[in-house]
């Protein structure tokens, strides 16, 4: 395992012990990839095994950005653990074809990360990338800084 994969695994292990306890019975693998079309991808690779594929571009990210991204990806795994392997694969099918479905899934993962107490990391992280195209869209796929703050305050996680 490479240096960065070890770093990511260490953070994931800490998160599972502290706040994502429902994932303790799953194997979570981390794979660093050269892919340039995404930063990180949550995959339910086989029953009871989750994989986070992380682009090597992430190596340049700050610790806050990495922690926010990992909390978000673990949020996907919380959903996957509840709906099971086959429904996750069906959801993936829709996500690849329909932007509105992807938006629902990404925002669900964001909300879970906020509910687990990582809202401040996410706000700092999103503030750092505010100039990116996705954030400027009228209906962004991910929660905006304002939406994260508002939701975190609403549920008492701010």
Q: How far apart are CA 133 and CA 28, in angstroms?
A: 30
What average pLDDT does range 46-73 have in this prediction?
95
**Average pLDDT value for the chain:** 92
**Domain that residue 84 falls in:** 3-154
User: What global pTM score does this model have?
Assistant: 0.91
Torsion of CA 28, 33, 37, 39, to 10 degrees: 50
For 115, the token pair is: 């509910």
Among residues 134, 112, 5, 123, the alpha carbon closest in space to that of 58 is found at: 5
Taking only the tens place, the pLDDT of each residue in 1-44 is 699 999 999 999 999 999 999 999 999 999 999 977 889 999 99
Q: How far apart are CA 125 and CA 1, in angstroms?
A: 26
The count of domains in the chain is 1
Predicted confidence at residue 6, as pLDDT, reads: 95
């Amino acid at each position: 395992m490479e240096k960065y994969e070890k770093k990511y695994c260490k953070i994931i292990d800490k998160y599972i012990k502290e706040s994502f306890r429902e994932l303790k019975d799953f194997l979570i693998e981390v794979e660093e990839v050269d892919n340039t079309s995404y930063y990180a991808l949550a995959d339910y690779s086989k029953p009871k095994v989750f994989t986070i594929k992380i682009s090597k571009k992430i190596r340049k990210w700050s610790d806050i950005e990495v922690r926010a991204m990992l909390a978000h990806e673990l949020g996907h795994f919380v959903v996957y653990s509840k709906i099971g392997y086959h429904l996750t694969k069906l959801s993936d099918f829709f996500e690849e074809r329909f932007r509105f479905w992807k938006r629902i899934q990404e925002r669900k993962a964001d909300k879970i990360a906020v509910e687990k107490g990582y809202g401040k990391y996410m706000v700092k992280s999103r503030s750092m990338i505010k100039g990116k195209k996705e954030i400027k869209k009228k209906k962004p796929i991910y929660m905006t800084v304002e939406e994260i703050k508002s939701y975190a305050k609403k549920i008492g996680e701010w």
